[in-house]
Amino acid sequence: MTDEKSHPHVGPLTDSQRTRLDFARRDFEYARSEDLAQLGEPGLILLVEKLRNRLDDMLNLIDEVTAEPPTSRA
């Protein structure tokens, strides 16, 4: 069970961030629905590489969204 109150409040995502999230979700759903035994070695390597890149992008997106806002100097 997760404690939703422990997560920092995150503002709305930008259009670009929503698009990146949507692409990652689609790639993940595609990978889950694919018969991995039928892909063959080259196809499996490409799928794993695509998912690795998406994971990296999602981790970067999390950093973007949860980063502290820059403080202005007076």
Look at the chain and report how many structural domains it folds into.
Answer: 1
- Structural domain of residue 45, as residue ranges? 15-66
Does the residue 37 lie in any domain?
A: yes
Structure tokens at 24: 């990652």
- Structural domain contains residue 43: yes
In a domain, 9, yes or no: no
Residues of the chain with pLDDT under 50: none
pTM: predicted TM-score of the whole model, two decimal places: 0.71
Q: How far is CA 71 from CA 17, 44, 60, 68, 74, in A?
A: 23, 45, 21, 9, 10
Write down the pLDDT at residue 57. 96
